[in-house]
A and B are shown apart, each in its own frame.
Chain A
Amino acid sequence: DAGITQSPRHKVTETGTPVTLRCHQTENHRYMYWYRQDPGHGLRLIHYSYGVKDTDKGEVSDGYSVSRSKTEDFLLTLESATSSQTSVYFCAISDLDRGPDTQYFGPGTRLTVL
């Protein structure tokens, strides 16, 4: 258990509204990631962070922004949600102790955009 929580776990929102998903970790892991999971696509990287205030884009970053103002929290924001952003969002962490490429995942947030 890597001490990762995600909130909310489920959310239904309307097109055009802003949405923020939160990933919280309790074990001071350096690296944090946001993925989305869609049928037929596996998981795809949205954004990642390699430290406080240090973030970078992944494969499917359009329409998303992130912030990491403290080690334990990594926020994913959909500035203006669209139906194509309906998905399950997973946060993951890794650190140098267990191998930076060995990731542990949170329970996920199911987002529905109507």
Chain B
Amino acid sequence: GDSVTQMEGPVTLSEEAFLTINCTYTATGYPSLFWYVQYPGEGLQLLLKATKADDKGSNKGFEATYRKETTSFHLEKGSVQVSDSAVYFCALSDSRTTSGYALNFGKGTSLLVTP
């Protein structure tokens, strides 16, 4: 079945460092891909999405490109801030193979940015 694999955390970076969080997926169809962010004690917030190959999602300085040839959707940010400390989840949705439009999540990657 469909699945998402994220790099293990925690990831610790200094402020202004470059961030990459790897995400690869397995899907039989053509899924939509998402990044969600969860700040401590809160629910998940949609960070960005891409619905087809070569689409680039972007928001708040974060970017991810839907790469069908490598089945990847890596999250990047050029200069992280302490306020970016959170858990990041990669997810996919393929209504042809999953329940309704439910999301299939990776296990999450914890990011800690230090001053």
Contact = CB atoms under 8 A, between A and B. Distances in A.
A42 B102 contact: no
A92 B36 CA distance: 13
A56 B99 CA distance: 8
Interface in B1-57: 4, 32, 34, 36, 42-46, 49, 51
B103 A101 contact: yes
Interface string A3-20: 000000000000000000
Interface residues of B, number: 23
Interface residues of A, number: 27
B103 A100 contact: no
B114 interface: no
A45 interface: yes
Contacts of A74: none
Contacts, number: 63
B43 A101 contact: no
Interface string A65-102: 00000000000000000000000001010100001111
A43 B103 contact: yes
Q: Is the interface of A mostly helix, strand, loop or mixed?
A: strand
B72 interface: no
Given A43-B89, A106-B43, A48 B95 contact: no
Interface of B: 4, 32, 34, 36, 42-46, 49, 51, 89, 93, 95, 99-103, 105-108
Please provide the 8 A-B residue pairs with the shortest distance between their CB atoms, ordered closest to farther: A101-B93, A42-B105, A105-B43, A101-B101, A100-B101, A105-B44, A42-B107, A43-B105
